[in-house]
Structure 1
Amino acid sequence: MIDWFSSIQIAVAILAGVLCLIVGLTGRTPNDYTLGATAVVELLLVVQFVVALIAPAAGNQPRGDLLEFYVYMVSALLLPAAAVFWALIDRTRWSTVILGVACFAIAVMVFRMNEIWLVQNA
């Protein structure tokens, strides 16, 4: 993992979460902005996944448990997709709030993945 890229991911996920929560709590249904913000979070996760696959071959070995890292990564990849799926099926303000909660969860998961890769000793 790349530390600065993880920081950008966390910041984008928090901003997307705040946007979705504000839009949802004002009573609006999911729109292009909320779904797009969640899609950006997902796109950054896909890039991080590719980086995490290539990094060990380039000499950037994780310090923590690799299996735990990839369980977090796969779960994180599924979470925004599931939230967007929910938002497209259930067009209420609460599905917009769910998008925000999913983005906040991604921020926490990326922080934990960063710890596993860079800080934690196996």
Structure 2
Amino acid sequence: MILWFTILQIAVAVAVGIFAVSAGLMGRRPSDYTVGALALVEVLLIVQVITAIVAPLVGNPPTGDPLEFWVYLVSAVLLPVGGVAWALLERSRWSTVILGVVGFAVAVMLWRMEVIWTIQVA
């Protein structure tokens, strides 16, 4: 993983989380802004998948368990999809809050992936 890219992803995910939770608590239903913000998190996660595939091939393998890393990454990629599906099926203010919670969950998972990739000893 690339540290600056991970920090960027975490910052974006936390910003999306704050934005969506505050919008939901203000009574806003899911909109193009909240769903689009989570779509940005998803695009960054797809770039992370590509990076995770290429990095070991160029000499940057994970120091921790690769299986654990990939389970986190696949789960993180699926979370925004599930959150957006929920928001489209149940168009209430609480589904907007769920979009924010997904943003926070992805941020935590990204940090854990960084720890698995760089800090742990296999």
Q: How high is the TM-score relative to the length of structure 2? A: 0.99
* 1:39-118 alignment runs, 5 A limit: 39-118=39-118
Give CA deviations for 1:30-64 in whole Å, capped at 9, x if unaligned: 00110011000000000000000010000001000
SS across alignment from 1:16: helix
> What stretches of structure 1 move > 4 A for 4+ residues in a row?
none
Letter in 1 for 2:6: S
Letter in 2 for 1:98: I
The percent of aligned pairs where both chains have the same amino acid is 58
Matched positions, count: 122
What's the counterpart of residue 6 of structure 2?
Answer: 6
Give CA deviations for 1:36-95 in whole Å, capped at 9, x if unaligned: 110000000000000000100000010000000000000000000000000001000000
Root-mean-square deviation (Å) = 0.4
Structure 2, unaligned runs of 5 or more = none
Structure 1, unaligned runs of 5 or more = none
Please say if 1:120 is aligned against 2:112: no
Q: How far is 1:2 from its partner? A: 0.5
Q: How high is the TM-score relative to the length of structure 1? A: 0.99
SS across alignment from 1:62: coil
Q: How far is 1:97 from its partner? A: 0.2
Determine the C-alpha separation between the residues in 2 that align with 1:120 and 1:44: 24
What's the counterpart of residue 25 of structure 2?
Answer: 25
Letter in 2 for 1:44: L
Q: How far is 1:29 from its partner? A: 0.2
